[in-house]
Amino acid sequence: MTSSAELHKRRGSAVARGVGSVISSYVDTASGGTLTDVEGRQWIDFAAGIAVTNVGNSAPKVVEAVRAQVERFTHTCFMVAPYESYVAVCEQLNELTPGGFEKRSALFNSGAEAVENAVKIARHATGRPAVVVFDHAYHGRTNLTMALTAKNMPYKHRFGPFAGEIYRVPMSYPLRDGGLDGATAAARAIELVEKQVGAENVAALLIEPIQGEGGFVVPAAGFLPALREWATAAGVVFIADEIQTGFCRTGDWFACQHEGVEPDLITLAKGIAGGLPLAAVTGRAELMDAVHVGGLGGTYGGNPIACAAALASIDTMHELDLAGAARRIEAVLGARLRAIAERDPAIAEVRGRGAMLAVEIVQPGTLTPDPAATAAVSAACHAAGLLTLTCGTYGNVLRFLPPLVIADDELSRAMEILDAAFG
C-alpha cells in the first residue's frame, strides 16, 4: 500500500494548500472508535470527524442502509422527483427537537448551508434585516457564515468583504468574563442590541448553546433562557446552532434541552447521518412555511443515501441510548480531566457537557492563553496514537469528541495517553 509519506507528497502537488489536515497519516479503514492508517497504525479517535461519527465510524446499521439505498437509486433531486426517506427524516427531526409546537424541516448538504437557510427563513418571515451573533461564534465558511463567525484567522482572513447586517455581542464565558451570572451576561448583550441595532430591526438571534470551534464555551446557567425570553418578547427568531452539539453529543438529544430552551429554529448537521453529508433546519411551522414554494432547496439537499444514513443513525442512537453513553463518557473522562487539572496549574478550566469536553490551557497563575503548550500536548497525544483536536479563539483549548460508541478499553487507553501527555 502507498505510504502516508508518499500520499502526502502527492497531495502537495494535487490538493490546494488552503485545505489543511490535523495529522499527516492517511486513513485506510475505520470502525467504532478506532482509525487505522495506511501503515497499519491504530489511532483512538477523540475527534469523530469533528463531532460527526457519534454512532461510530462505519456503524453497522448505517452501512447496511447506505448499501441498500445505493442499489435502489442514488439521486433524483427532491425538488424534481420526491421520495419517502426525505419526508421520514423531517418527521424524525420534528419529533426529536425541543419544542412541543407544530414544526417543519428542510434538508441541505452542510452545516453552513443550514445556517444560511435559517437566516433566509428568519429574514423572510420577519421582514427584518439584522442578525445578532456572539463573540467566539463559529457558523461556517461561506460568505454569510464567515460574517457570522467571529475568528479572523484562519476562517476569514482576506476573504472579505462580508455580508452586512450582522451584529456581534459578548458571549457568556465564565472563565473570561469574571464569572458573570447568566442573567447579567444576557442583559449586557441585550442592552447592546437594543442601543446599537434596535430590537425591531432584528430578524434573528443566532447562538451555539455550547460553542464548538470557539472553545467549547459553556455559557453560565440562565444565559440562554434569558436570551430566549427577550427574543420572544421582541419578536426575534431564536436560532440555536446545534450543528456540533446535536444528536446525543452533550448527553441529551440537543444541548438546549439541558436548560429547557425551545428554539424557534434549530440548525443541524455533523452528527445527523453517521458521516454522510446532510444538514437540516427544523423549526416552527409558521416560520418555515412562510417562505414561498421554490424559495428553499438545492440540487443535493436531502440526498437519498444521506437520508437513509440519517434514519439508520437516529435508530442507532435510540437503540444504544447514545445520550446515556455520552453521560457515561462525561462521568469517566470528566473525572480524569479534573484529576489532571488538580496537578497541572496550566489547566485553567475543565468544561463541557456529555462527550463534548475540553480543557483550557494558560500560563500557570494567569489567564494568559498558552496555544504553544496546547499544541504540544495535542502533538504528544498524536505521537502516542490518540487523535485530539484543539480549538478556541486563542487556540488554547484541547477538546475531546469521542464517538459515543467508544469501547471502555479504548476510552481507558485514551485517558492513559492523555494523562502521560500532560506529564
Ligand X SMILES: *Cc1c(COP(=O)(O)O)cnc(C)c1O
Place of cell 424524525: 92
Q: Answer yes or no whether residue 138 interacts with ligand X by CB under 6 A.
A: yes
Tell me the C-alpha distance between 402 and 52, whole Å.
Answer: 10
- Smallest distance from ligand X to CB 166, Å: 15
Sorted by sequence, the CB contacts under 8 Å of residue 329 that are 6+ apart come out as 354, 355, 357, 402, 404, 406, 411
* Cell numbers at 286, concatenated: 409558521
Question: Does the footprint of ligand X cover residue 278 (CB under 6 A)?
Answer: no
- Which range binds ligand X by CB under 6 A, 8-16, 35-43, 138-146, 227-235? 138-146
Distances (CA, A) of 2 to 22, 26, 31: 20, 10, 21
Residue 362 or 401 having the CB closest to ligand X = 401
Closer residue to ligand X in complex, CB, 208/264: 208
Q: Which of 132, 205, 206, 269 binds ligand X (CB under 6 A)?
A: 269
Cell of 113: 448551508
- Smallest gap from residue 5 Cβ to ligand X (A): 28
CB within 8 Å of 358: residues ≥ 6 apart: 215, 216, 350, 351, 352, 391, 397, 398, 399, 400
Tell whether residue 354 is a contact of ligand X (CB under 6 A): no
For 299-327, give the DSSP string. Answer: SSTT-HHHHHHHHHHHHHHHHTTHHHHHH
Per CB under 6 A, the list member of 32, 33, 140, 302 interacting with ligand X is 140
Examine residue 244 and tell whether it contacts ligand X (CB under 6 A).
yes
Q: Which is nearer to ligand X, 241 or 252 (CB)?
A: 241
112 binds ligand X (CB under 6 A): yes
Q: How far is the CB of 110 from ligand X (least distance, A)?
A: 4
C-alpha separations of 304 from 100, 111, 216 in Å: 28, 18, 33
- Report in angstroms how near the CB of residue 148 gets to ligand X at its nearest: 9
Which of 33, 49, 98, 111 is in the footprint of ligand X by CB under 6 A? 111
Is residue 212 close enough to count as binding ligand X by CB under 6 A? yes
* 244 three-state secondary structure: coil
**CB distance 154 to 146 below 8 Å:** no
Q: State the maximum Cα–Cα separation within the chain, in Å, rounded to a whole number.
A: 62
Segment interacting with ligand X, rule: CB under 6 A, options 6-14, 65-73, 239-247, 391-399: 239-247
**Judged by CB under 6 A, does residue 135 bind ligand X?**
no
Position 45 contacts ligand X (CB under 6 A)? no
Minimal distance in Å, beta carbon 114 to ligand X? 7
The packing angle between helices 304-319 and 322-343, to 10°, is 70
CB-based closest residue to ligand X: 111
Nearer to ligand X, 243 or 323 (CB): 243
Q: How many CB atoms lie within 10 A of CB 277?
A: 20
- Which range of residues in 27-35, 85-93, 205-213, 346-354 is near ligand X by CB under 6 A? 205-213
Q: Which residues bind to ligand X, rule: CB under 6 A?
A: 110-112, 115, 138-140, 208, 212-213, 241, 243-244, 269-270
